[in-house]
Chains A and B, each alone.
Chain A
């Protein structure tokens, strides 16, 4: 079993839809949780960062962490074609050795 599990998709939604992306993990020591966006042939770009449990909102993006269920989510409201990318969850116990999910490939169709 991988430490971080993420459904690779692909996920296709119409423009304006609410997108839900999720990851589960097995290491209860993880304290730092992040979501990255990666466009083709580019490095990952940090979208959201959360320490421990709770919710965090930034514009159209909301990150949720449920440590009791070892489950994290990223919601994208009013999705746009420019949101089409691969979304990677990442987590760490010490904010150094980050463990990534495999990434979910999202396409938002106009």
Chain B
């Protein structure tokens, strides 16, 4: 197991298009988190899964954002009708006990 894997690493999309990111957590980790990070800022919490259940969602997660974790394994984050303000690094993390997270390298989204 090589850690948390995120794909794609980079995504450039036109405003108004939909995009989907994938996260493969460490296999034995039952908790999965999505964060967003903009330049010069720390990561901001978006949502949290325990197994397949989405237990918490930030108010930052507007109706255009949806996340899933079917079967409690990999997760997807979809952004519909992208806006320029969605440009950011989207980070996925996983944990088994909640004692600290293991982050992936992120997906950098640029909306033009």
Q: Which A residues contact B (CB, under 8 angstroms)?
A: 4, 6, 8, 34, 36, 41-46, 49, 88, 90, 95-103
Q: Which B residues contact A (CB, under 8 angstroms)?
A: 4, 31, 33, 40-45, 48, 55-56, 58, 91, 93, 98-106
B103 touches A49 (CB 8 A): no
In the complex, which residue of chain B has the Cβ closest to the Cβ of A48?
B100
- Given A96-B56, A100-B42: A45 in contact with B103 (beta carbons within 8 A): yes
Select A43's contact among B42, B56, B58, B105, beta carbons within 8 Å. Answer: B105
Grouping DSSP codes into helix (H, G, I), strand (E, B) and loop, the B interface class, with mixed when no group exceeds half, is loop
A96 touches B99 (CB 8 A): no
Task: List 9 other contacts, CB 8 Å, given A49-B99, A88-B43, A101-B42.
Answer: A4-B42, A8-B40, A45-B103, A46-B102, A96-B33, A96-B55, A96-B98, A102-B42, A103-B41
B42 touches A6 (CB 8 A): yes
Measured CA separation A98–B44 after assembly (Å): 8
Measured CA separation A95–B33 after assembly (Å): 11
B100 touches A43 (CB 8 A): no
Select A46's contact among B43, B44, B45, B100, beta carbons within 8 Å. Answer: B100
A49 touches B93 (CB 8 A): no
Q: For B56, list chain A residues within 8 Å (CB).
A: 96-97
Residue contacts A-B, CB under 8 angstroms, 29 given: A4-B42, A6-B42, A36-B103, A41-B105, A42-B106, A43-B91, A43-B93, A43-B103, A43-B104, A43-B105, A43-B106, A44-B103, A46-B100, A49-B99, A88-B43, A96-B31, A96-B33, A96-B48, A96-B55, A96-B56, A97-B45, A97-B48, A98-B43, A98-B45, A99-B45, A101-B42, A102-B41, A103-B41, A103-B42
